[in-house]
Structure 1
Amino acid sequence: MTMATLTDFNATASGVGGPLLGDTEFQFLRDFVYQHCGIALGEQKRQLVQGRLLRRLRALRLKDFSSYCELLRRDPEGELGELASVISTNVTSFFREMHHYDLLINDLLPRWLEAKKNGGRLRIWSAGCSTGEEPYALAMVLAEALDRTGSKVDARILATDLSPQALETARAGTYALDRLGGVSDERRSRWFMRGEGSYEGWARVHPRLRELVTIQPLNLLHDWPMRGPFDAIFCRNVVIYFDKPTKQRLFERYAGLLEQGGYLFLGHSESMYGLSDSFELVGRTVYRKRTS
């Protein structure tokens, strides 16, 4: 999901020229989305869901929402990623919330690389990587730190998301030039290859960055195959729509995968206040796992 967030949808654009979303179907979808995605859909989201899912119904050639609900009952995992993509909007950018990257550049990465120089491993997880801007921005500052220090540390970034469309974009690593607004001219020159001909107006991330980033599908509410430990987890603008019990469970699972003293980065509108005793606030939406 950096970020998959529900957004308001113009009521006049939904429900036109298609079936209506009835009470029974909407309640099923609310329960399904909460169970599988941890997102609580309020009644005010009915028109959003109806408008967005009409396109999915047409793509699947289904006649109504009842048929779509039946599809989810038969094959919940097969359609889950598509449903998550339909009802969410991936809002992300390169170097969003720059103070987090400043902390990495000026403090954390130099310290980690020095501590691990004799054969250690460095792992960062972008949980909810969306279309890839966050993990590739992390890869830029990581690669720069490795080059500055001449470090041979085994360093990798794991990037996960639920949305198949977002992951497809992330794997391609190709972005319109107007998506590079947060990237300095120096980094554009160093870490992107500008397209030519039919690819004019596009840029692709450098192979070095792609080597540092592993992109995989993952539902944060389901089992996690990775064992960690991670030095840092970025989960920014993901948990804002989760309810309190879901947030609490997720934060404790993050704590279990972080190194002692590892860092958890949240989004600008998110907080861990009153939700976990495993972390301490050490910066603006930056939390450190407590050492015992």
Structure 2
Amino acid sequence: MSAELAYVSDAHDTLSPANFRRLSEFIHGYSGIKMPPAKKTMLEGRLRRRLRERRMGSFDEYCAFLFQQGGIDAEAIHLIDVVTTNKTDFFREPAHFDFLVNKALPGFQKEGRRQVQVWSSACSIGAEPYTIAMLMDDYCREHRGLDYSIFATDLCTQVLGEALIGIYPAAMIEPVPIALRERHVLVPRDGSQKVVRMAPHLRSKLSFARQNLMDAKYAAPRDLDMIFCRNLLIYFDKPTQAAVLKRLCAHLRPGGYLFLGHSETIVGVELPVRTVSGTVFQRI
């Protein structure tokens, strides 16, 4: 019987308690993502793709490969790729972008800054950094003497590849105002192709890299003007949230801004920041 057929025959295989515990402990230690027992079924569903790709017939075989046969080093990135959640939209949580255009950028301009550096630290497929780029590009065109660059990172290599290419389903850009679409989004001449691509002048302003926010040191530049870390901390426990926030703040210059998701909080974490608007914080 082929490995593929063996897999099909075991399609309803489940993780043993011991294997689930080992996987959840590894995932949490590597990525900070919580994997409580309630997520066991979700984890099984996502790992089945890896079993198919590796032509393995059961979770027991896969876990033996990881933890007994030394496969974890080679498999870690692929394992984390299937585990990570990559929910994202253009102009998600628009109040942050209103603050960017109406408060942050005018403030930087008054300070006499010539170059604004931004880090989108959990960029997923790129909707967040490209949204930022559209707004900053328009602002810089209207206010000569100001330029920008965006460093975008994610733990998942698959979504980084999609972000780098900058091609999206046409329906995904519906939240983007029409005027911005006309300036920054390329539409195929063939109307049957239901995809769009970010314009070259935007793509040239972004650089992408893989970054695990659990690492003790980050590859991002220091003295950044803005850091976006939105809707990621909710997957971490409190100690991990605190450690990540402290490391992020170390890359933010005094006067720079940290943007978190609207459901996230810094309560109970001592950070060198003050609240300026909702979940926008300024480095002091």
Mind listing any 5+ residue stretches in structure 2 that lack a counterpart? 1-8
Structure 1 position 128 matched with structure 2 position 143: no
Aligned partner of 1:266: which letter?
L
Point out the more displaced range, 59-68 or 186-195.
Answer: 59-68
Cα 1:284–1:165, aligned 2, differ >3 Å: closer, same or farther? same
Identity of aligned residues (%): 34
Partner of 1:80: 76
Partner of 1:11: none
Q: Shift of residue 70 of structure 1?
A: 4.0
Determine helix, strand or coil for the equivalent of 1:264. Answer: strand
Alignment of 1:1-292 (within 5 A): 17-73=11-67, 74-117=70-113, 120-153=114-147, 155-197=148-190, 200-222=193-215, 223-290=217-284
Q: Shift of residue 18 of structure 1?
A: 3.9
Partner of 1:7: none
Point out the more displaced range, 256-265 or 129-138.
Answer: 256-265
Cα 1:175–1:199, aligned 2, differ >3 Å: closer, same or farther? farther
**8 Å contact kept, 1:110–1:145:** no
Compute the TM-score of the two structures, normalised by the length of structure 1: 0.88
Partner of 1:5: none
Q: Shift of residue 181 of structure 1?
A: 1.8
Q: Could you tell me how far apart the structure 2 residues matched to 1:235 and 1:38 are?
A: 14
Mind listing any 5+ residue stretches in structure 1 that lack a counterpart? 1-14
Cα 1:283–1:189, aligned 2, differ >3 Å: closer, same or farther? same
Q: Shift of residue 63 of structure 1?
A: 2.2
Q: Shift of residue 227 of structure 1?
A: 3.5
Determine helix, strand or coil for the equivalent of 1:61. Answer: coil
State the superposition RMSD in angstroms: 1.9
Q: Shift of residue 228 of structure 1?
A: 1.4
Runs of 4+ in 1 over 6 A off after TM superposition: none
Q: Could you tell me how far apart the structure 1 residues matched to 2:126 and 2:65 are?
A: 30
Q: Would you say how many aligned residue pairs link Structure 1 and Structure 2?
A: 273
Q: Could you tell me how far apart the structure 2 residues matched to 1:168 and 1:199 are?
A: 24
Point out the more displaced range, 144-153 or 30-39.
Answer: 144-153
Q: Could you tell me how far apart the structure 2 residues matched to 1:210 and 1:94 are?
A: 15
Q: Shift of residue 34 of structure 1?
A: 0.7
